[in-house]
């Protein structure tokens, strides 16, 4: 076996799926570096500290989520088109948007922050299309019995690279905040190199699927196809009651988390006045490390019990994490000695548990909808799932920061209530499936 195959754990991957797996891991070895600084957590730190615009923190968290609302548009673009060619085009769009951050002035204050937020948002719009494509590639190329394990390894490599690059970049920005004008275009260049291993990737059964699709669908314009996709999505949500209820539970869980993240960004950068590295350490590095350790365990559990029982247990960890974070903010607000170090300790514990939840969440978010989808409509099911993610992602950061601004730490009680409701909904679904 090739040394690379042994290094990335390809020995237990089915032989027919192995070339695809190796190509994806080679791609992710550079793509994870590129994607590291486009996520909401790191971007929120930059907009608050580099541009001095904390009021844009919920915007930074919400703007990329607008991209998810466009998932139906991506579904219209993707359906009936070669997946790899479409993947490369969308990836190039994200790379160009991210590289353009080199032109954003560091001394423009709020205007620079707005421009930075727009560039991050455009990059995320293109990246949201890749989410649809990537999961449909996994469904075609990897058998159900190994899919979660393969996806967890790809996600783990991505998370590890994001962690390393984020730590390096935050250390650089602590010394020279304006160096973002060099870091972002450098990572964009790595993103271009990451696309090379995908050029020869083949999708199993794609040619037959494309021929079947072209025979069954008359040639229509983009807007008519988009309307058709929307109609199909409405039909799915009406007829597939289990999927509809699953999406509802997902919506509650995601809303809870989207409320918490921007509040923690403001708490770390404005209330505690932590620097880049300290803020990123608590907000992203700690949970990412824990997610990397726990992801293989979650993957085996997912393959064994299925998505619904998986989600019950996974949501319980999210609930504990949010409760600990709420306790940390509440403790810090009390005028007692040593409140700050105790609050930081609680917050670190919260992020540790958050990492456990995140390790499973990465698998459940990418693969959960496949439990309900058929082979030929996986893109559409993912489109519905991603669009609902975008809807809650646009609304809840503003709700969280608004309520936090009004009442302070008690705002976290709303997030706890939403998470409890999600856990109960998943538990009900899992119980019905078991019966």
Distances (CA, A) of 371 to 47, 246, 365: 38, 10, 11
Residue 4: which pLDDT band, with cuts at 50, 70 and 90?
A: very low
Calculate ∠ Cα 221-223-226, nearest 5°: 110
User: What pLDDT does residue 213 have?
Assistant: 65
Q: Give residue for tokens 């988009």.
A: 226
Query: pTM, whole model, 2 decimals?
Result: 0.74
* Pair of tokens at residue 99: 């590289």
Stretch (H or E) spanning 134: helix 110-141
User: Domain total for the chain?
Assistant: 1
Q: What is the mean pLDDT of the chain?
A: 83
pLDDT of the residue at 412: 94
Residues above pLDDT 90, as percent of the chain: 29
Could you tell me the CATH number of the domain that includes residue 284?
1.20.1250.20
pLDDT in tens, 328-387: 999 998 878 788 889 999 999 999 999 999 989 888 887 777 777 765 567 678 778 878
Q: What does the angle CA 229 – CA 381 – CA 311 come to, to the nearest 5 degrees?
A: 155
* Lookup result for tokens 């509040």: 263
What is the per-residue pLDDT for 214?
64
Task: Give the pLDDT score at 249.
Answer: 94
The pLDDT assigned to 2 comes to 45
Residue/partner pairs of 39-42 with CB below 8 Å, 24 or more apart:
39/64, 39/162, 39/284, 40/64, 40/261, 41/261, 41/265, 41/280, 41/283, 41/284, 42/166, 42/169, 42/170, 42/280, 42/284
- Predicted local confidence at residue 158, as pLDDT: 81
Q: Which of 8-17, 41-50, 149-158 has the lowest mean pLDDT?
A: 8-17
Structural domain range at position 425:
3-197+204-434
273 conformational bin, left if phi > 0, alpha if psi -120 to 50, beta if neither? left
């Amino acid at each position: 076996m090739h040394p690379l195959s042994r290094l990335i754990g390809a020995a237990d991957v089915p032989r027919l799926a192995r070339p695809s797996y190796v190509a994806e891991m080679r791609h992710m070895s550079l793509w994870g570096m590129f994607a590291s600084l486009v996520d909401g957590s790191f971007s929120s730190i930059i907009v608050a500290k580099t541009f001095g615009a904390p009021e844009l923190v919920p915007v930074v968290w919400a703007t990329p989520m607008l991209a998810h609302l466009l998932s139906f548009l991506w579904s219209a673009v993707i359906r009936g088109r070669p997946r790899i060619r479409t993947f490369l085009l969308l990836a190039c769009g994200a790379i160009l948007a991210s590289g353009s951050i080199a032109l954003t002035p560091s001394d423009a204050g709020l205007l620079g922050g707005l421009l930075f937020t727009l560039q991050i948002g455009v990059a995320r719009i293109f990246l949201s299309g890749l989410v649809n494509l990537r999961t449909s590639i996994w469904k075609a190329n990897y058998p159900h019995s190994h899919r979660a394990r393969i996806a967890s390894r790809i996600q783990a490599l991505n998370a590890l690279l994001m962690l390393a690059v984020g730590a390096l970049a935050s250390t650089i920005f602590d010394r020279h905040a304006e160096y973002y004008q060099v870091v972002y275009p450098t990572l964009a260049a790595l993103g271009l190199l990451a696309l090379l291993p995908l050029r020869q990737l083949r999708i199993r059964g794609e040619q037959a699927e494309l021929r079947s699709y072209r025979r069954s669908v008359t040639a229509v314009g983009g807007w008519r196809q988009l309307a058709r996709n929307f109609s199909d999505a409405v039909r799915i949500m009406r007829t597939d009651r289990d999927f509809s209820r699953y999406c509802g539970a997902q919506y509650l869980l995601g809303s809870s988390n989207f409320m918490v993240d921007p509040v923690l960004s403001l708490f770390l950068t404005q209330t505690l006045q932590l620097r880049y590295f300290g803020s990123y350490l608590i907000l992203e590095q700690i949970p990412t490390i824990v997610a990397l350790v726990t992801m293989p365990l979650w993957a085996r559990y997912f393959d064994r019990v299925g998505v619904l029982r998986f989600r019950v247990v996974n949501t319980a960890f999210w609930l504990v994490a949010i409760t600990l974070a709420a306790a940390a903010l509440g403790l810090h607000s009390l005028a007692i000695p040593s409140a700050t170090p105790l609050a930081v300790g609680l917050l670190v514990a919260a992020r540790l548990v958050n990492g456990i939840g995140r390790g499973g969440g990465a698998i459940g978010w990418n693969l959960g909808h496949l439990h309900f989808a058929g082979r030929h409509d996986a893109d559409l099911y993912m489109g519905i799932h991603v669009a609902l993610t975008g809807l809650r992602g646009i609304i809840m950061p503003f709700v969280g920061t608004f309520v936090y601004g009004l009442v302070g730490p008690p705002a976290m009680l709303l997030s706890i209530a939403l998470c409890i409701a999600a856990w109960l909904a998943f538990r009900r679904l899992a119980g019905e499936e078991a019966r």
